[in-house]
A and B are shown apart, each in its own frame.
Chain A
Amino acid sequence: MAAAGKISVASRDVLALRLLVALVIFGAWEAMSRSGLFYGEVVPSLLKIGASLIKLLLDPIFYRNLQVTALETMLALAIGAGAGITTGIVLGANRFLMRAFEPYVYYLSPTPRIILFPVMIMWFGVGPASKIALGALSAFFAIALSTAAGMRQIDPILIRVGRSFRANIWQMAMKIYLPAMRVPILNGLRLGMGTAIITVLLGETKLSNQGLGYLIMQIYTRFDMPGLYALLITIFVIAGAVNALIGHFARD
């Protein structure tokens, strides 16, 4: 009982400190905004950002572009996950192939993927396909590596049980490997989703006529700073929420 009381006091302190920090940041922002030290609307007032946020969330154009980005990201993730999970299972199940090919996947995974965008444009054109391809490629590495690591952590007893039942490759994958690798695969999907969202949006900022990345560039061109802050906050919240949602399933 006393311990529970102590924990709740500690949690209250944490909450109070967070509120205090948030208030200090917002106060400092507002002071900067009103100081006149910054050119034009570079640091707009929080009220203006709030008003732009409401305007953005009531604007059908936002939802039209959100739909495009969401569709591109989902397709990118589906393709990247399909290829990544298959590659991960193959590399994780076979030591020879793991030693032959996993270093390439591992060392190519932290390279800046956006530089492949010109190639994607040449291969798939300037439409959504090039963004989907780039997103799929980004998601692939995280998912493949996570799946391969997950494969190696499967309890060997489960694999022996499957083999003793003479399960074929498909049955082994569906009944043994995939259920035993739920957490690493979901973690891979979480990382893959994060990189897919970023690369799809970056592709849209570079060359597109639809999607949230395109909307960012439109607002930037109009120099609508409160609108730009509002859109970036919305994108950060959406990306964070998707990340937290997949993370929640990975923990359960």
Chain B
Amino acid sequence: MAETFLRRRAPELFGVATLVASVLVFEALVRGGVVNRYIIPPPSDILLAFERVIVEEHILTRCRDTAIEMIIAGGASVLVGVPIGALLYRSSLWRRAMEDWIGALAAAPIVLAFPLFLVLFGRSPKTIIVMGFVHGLAPIILKTVEGLASTRPVLINVGRSLKMTPSQMFWKILFPSALPVIFTGIRLSWTFVLITIVGVEYLINLGGLGQLINELAERYDLPGTYAGICFVVMVSVLFFVALERVEAWLQPGR
């Protein structure tokens, strides 16, 4: 049984083994003086720094700060983006006129405008939240339109044959059918929101996890900086995996 598992999972185990081997090689290279420890600290020091970063740098409070910004910005993106998408779906003229513009908004380097937002909203969490919200809006609008437009005609015909009102049609037929695609938009949007929030926190040295990395780097606490970066990367990956799981749960057929 164990042999079957090993054979079935050989590629994944090889990936993990390569990762562990790379860490050990780095440890040896740094300890052997081949790699300067003031540029790359030994991985064991980074591992030990985790406890210090978690306890002394109040990482839970910082996670909470980032999470609050994330919930407000991400929630606002959904609350504003889904109704705009639904309104655009109702008018093909508005949809055709605005879809390209919203697509351009999604691709625009909005995060670069952080000095502008700093002037408009001050050096406060408001700036971070508004930037996250603006960055997260476009994918939700586009995916809401796409989801509603891809409702199967047979479902719409069933609604019509039951003489549903437009409101009933939306809440009983269109919205439930579009929900999986809308959630794909939410996943994309919240990924953008997280990247923007942590990025702006780092750039303006304010808030939660992004600020932590900036502070550790400015103190030249090398193992702490590396540990902080690893922590933020782990949080991002876990967040992304969780969103993917929910998306898969909503789309069991895919």
CA distance A168 to B107 in the complex (A): 40
B210 and A112 contacting across the interface, CB-CB below 8 Å: yes
A174: Cβ under 8 A from any B Cβ? no
B241 and A112 contacting across the interface, CB-CB below 8 Å: no
Decide yes or no: A240 and B119 within 8 Å by CB, A13-B93, A202-B199 being known contacts. Answer: no
Decide yes or no: A206 and B199 within 8 Å by CB, A99-B15, A111-B236, A122-B39 being known contacts. Answer: no
A110 and B195 contacting across the interface, CB-CB below 8 Å: yes
Stretch at the interface among A59-67, A159-167, A193-201: A193-201
Contact of A21 among B97, B214, B226 (CB under 8 A): B97
A26: Cβ under 8 A from any B Cβ? no
B249: Cβ under 8 A from any A Cβ? no
Size band of the A side of the interface?
Answer: 35 or more
A14: Cβ under 8 A from any B Cβ? yes
A17 and B203 contacting across the interface, CB-CB below 8 Å: no
Contacts of B120 in A (CB 8 A): 42
Contacts of A123 in B (CB 8 A): 39-40
Number of interface residues of B (CB under 8 A): 51
Stretch at the interface among B72-80, B110-118, B176-184: B110-118
A114 and B222 contacting across the interface, CB-CB below 8 Å: no
Interface positions of B (Cβ within 8 A of A): 10-12, 14-15, 18-19, 39-40, 93-94, 96-98, 101, 104, 107-109, 111-116, 118-120, 191, 194-196, 198-199, 202-203, 210, 213-214, 216-217, 222, 225-226, 229, 232-233, 236-237, 240-241
A100 and B198 contacting across the interface, CB-CB below 8 Å: no
B139 to chain A, nearest CB (A): 12
Contacts of A225 in B (CB 8 A): 119
A100 and B237 contacting across the interface, CB-CB below 8 Å: no
B29 to chain A, nearest CB (A): 14
B109 and A197 contacting across the interface, CB-CB below 8 Å: yes
A170: Cβ under 8 A from any B Cβ? no
Closest B residue to A121 by CB, please name it. B217
A220 and B115 contacting across the interface, CB-CB below 8 Å: yes
Contacts of B11 in A (CB 8 A): 95-100
Interface flags for A67-109 (1: CB within 8 Å of B; 0: not) read: 0000000000000000000000000000111111101100110
B19 to chain A, nearest CB (A): 8
B97 and A206 contacting across the interface, CB-CB below 8 Å: no
Q: Can you list 11 A-B contacts with CB-CB less than 8 angstroms, sorted by A residue number? A: A14-B96, A112-B202, A114-B203, A115-B198, A115-B199, A115-B210, A118-B229, A194-B109, A220-B119, A228-B116, A240-B107
